[in-house]
Amino acid sequence: MVDDITHNIVTKTKPTFYFVGVTTHQSSIMKVFPRWMQAIGRPEVVIEGINHRIHDDPKSYRATVAQIKYDPLSLGALVTTHKIDLLTASRYMFDGLHDSADQTGEVSSISKRKEQLWGHAKDPLTSGLSLDAILGPGYFGKSHGHVLCFGAGGSGKAISLHFISRTNPDDRPKKLIVNNRSEARLLELKKMVDSLETDILFEYNQNVDPTVNDNIMANMPEGSIVINATGMGKDTPGSPVTNSGLFPRNSIAWEINYRGELDFWHQAMAQRHSRNVMVEDGWLYFLHGWTQVIAEVLDLEFDARTFDELGKIAEDLRPPLVYIPKNGDIDSG
C-alpha cells in the first residue's frame, strides 16, 4: 500500500512542519509559526498546510503520512480534525505510537526520531491543560455539575480521558454525556472508557437533531459544562444546538475552536447574563496544542516562561472574536 503513494513525495528544500486540517490556510498559526520559529532560534523551519476533506479517502491520509515519513526535510506534523481517521488509515506506517495514541486511537503529533516515525495523541494533555485553566481546582466538588460533550471524535475522546485521569474526585464529574452524529465514534469512545477504571457515569447518545440536543442540554444540572467538540461553526456550518436551546444556569460553555462562525459560542454568549453562562473559546487549547506538538517534532522542551512568551507573540496576531447579538437572542445583554 505504501508503494502506491510514495511516487507523489516531494523533496523539500527547507525543513518543513506540516499542519494537517480542513481549512489550514485560514488558521492563525500560518502567521504565528514564523514568528515563533524566530523566537526559538529556528527561523529556517517553514510551515505548510495540508487540507483533507472530513472523513477523507484513507489513501489520501497515507499519502500525507508517506510525505513526512520518506522526505528527509519533512520534519513532522500537527494533525487536527483527522486525528482518528488518519491513524486508522496509516497505523502500519508508524514505527512507534505513544501510549496516548494507542489508548485513544488518534494522533495529533507526527514526529521523527532518527529514521523512526512516531505518533502521539497530545490532546488528552492539551485539552486537560485548557480545562484546568478554565475550571480551576475542585470544580465539580463545588458546582456538582456534569459534563455534556457534543462530538465523540478526537477531542471528545481526549476530554473524556482527561476527566477519567483526574485523581482528585472533586476534579471529576459524576456524569459525562457524549452526543455524536455517528454510532461508530460512540462505540470507539465506549470501548476506550470500558477499558479504563473510572467512577464517572458515561452516557452515549447518537443523534444529529439539534432540538433533541436542546432537550438534553436543558436537563443538565446547574453548574454543568457544555462543550462543542463537533467542529460545527468552523469545519461545517451551524451548531449542535438551536438558538432556543437553554444552557444550564451558572454553567460553562466551551467552544473548542477560536475561529470560524462559532455559532455555539454566540449562542452561549447570548445567555451569559440571563443564565450566568461563562463562555470560553479554544484559544488556550490552540496555544497548548501547538506548543506541545512543536516541542515534540523539534525535540525541544518549552518551560513556562517560553510558553508565556510564545503566547504573547501569538496574542498580537489573534483574530478578533467579537460577539454579534442576533435577532431572537435570548439575552442580547
Ligand X SMILES: NC(=O)c1ccc[n+]([C@@H]2O[C@H](COP(=O)([O-])OP(=O)(O)OC[C@H]3O[C@@H](n4cnc5c(N)ncnc54)[C@H](OP(=O)(O)O)[C@@H]3O)[C@@H](O)[C@H]2O)c1
Contact status: 180 vs ligand X (CB under 6 A): yes
Contact status: 105 vs ligand X (CB under 6 A): no
Is the CB of residue 168 less than 8 Å from the CB of residue 220?
A: no
CB of 231 to ligand X, least distance (A): 3
Contact status: 289 vs ligand X (CB under 6 A): yes
Stretch that binds ligand X, among 32-40, 44-52, 166-174, 234-242 (CB under 6 A): 234-242
Burial of 290 (0-12, 13-18, 19+ CB in 10 A): buried
Q: Of residues 229, 294, 310, 314, which one binds ligand X by CB under 6 A?
A: 229
Contact status: 196 vs ligand X (CB under 6 A): no
DSSP strand pairing (46-51 vs 96-97): unpaired
Contact status: 292 vs ligand X (CB under 6 A): no
Contact status: 128 vs ligand X (CB under 6 A): no
Grid cell 503529533 in the structure block, residue: 109
Q: Of residues 76, 124, 128, 153, which one binds ligand X by CB under 6 A?
A: 153
Rounded Cα gap, residues 76 and 63, in angstroms: 14
CB of 76 to ligand X, least distance (A): 17
Rounded Cα gap, residues 27 and 101, in angstroms: 24
Tell me which residues in 248-267 interact with ligand X (CB under 6 A): 256-258
CB of 205 to ligand X, least distance (A): 9
Contact status: 151 vs ligand X (CB under 6 A): yes
Contact status: 181 vs ligand X (CB under 6 A): yes
CB of 159 to ligand X, least distance (A): 9
CB of 177 to ligand X, least distance (A): 12
Tell me which residues in 19-78 interact with ligand X (CB under 6 A): none
The C-alpha cell at 69 is 515519513
Contact status: 240 vs ligand X (CB under 6 A): yes
Contact status: 109 vs ligand X (CB under 6 A): no
CA dihedral sign, ordered 100, 104, 105, 110: negative
CB of 235 to ligand X, least distance (A): 5
Grid cell 472530513 in the structure block, residue: 54
Closest chain position to ligand X (CB): 153
Rounded Cα gap, residues 119 and 31, in angstroms: 25
CB of 144 to ligand X, least distance (A): 25
16: which strand partners?
46, 74
Rounded Cα gap, residues 134 and 144, in angstroms: 16
154 or 248: CB nearest ligand X: 154
Is the CB of residue 122 less than 8 Å from the CB of residue 100?
A: yes
Q: Of residues 83, 162, 166, 266, which one binds ligand X by CB under 6 A?
A: 83
Contact status: 179 vs ligand X (CB under 6 A): yes
Rounded Cα gap, residues 222 and 144, in angstroms: 8
67 or 155: CB nearest ligand X: 155
The C-alpha cell at 139 is 470544580
Looking at residue 259, the DSSP 8-state letter turns out to be S
Task: Give 319's contacts (C-beta < 8 A, 6+ positions apart).
Answer: 28, 258, 259
Contact status: 150 vs ligand X (CB under 6 A): yes
140 or 283: CB nearest ligand X: 283
Number of residues that bind ligand X (CB under 6 A): 31
Rounded Cα gap, residues 213 and 194, in angstroms: 24
41's torsion region: left (phi>0), alpha (psi -120 to 50) or beta? left
The C-alpha cell at 118 is 512516531
Q: Which residues bind ligand X (CB under 6 A)?
A: 80-81, 83-84, 150-156, 179-182, 185, 208, 229-232, 234-235, 240, 256-258, 282, 285-286, 289
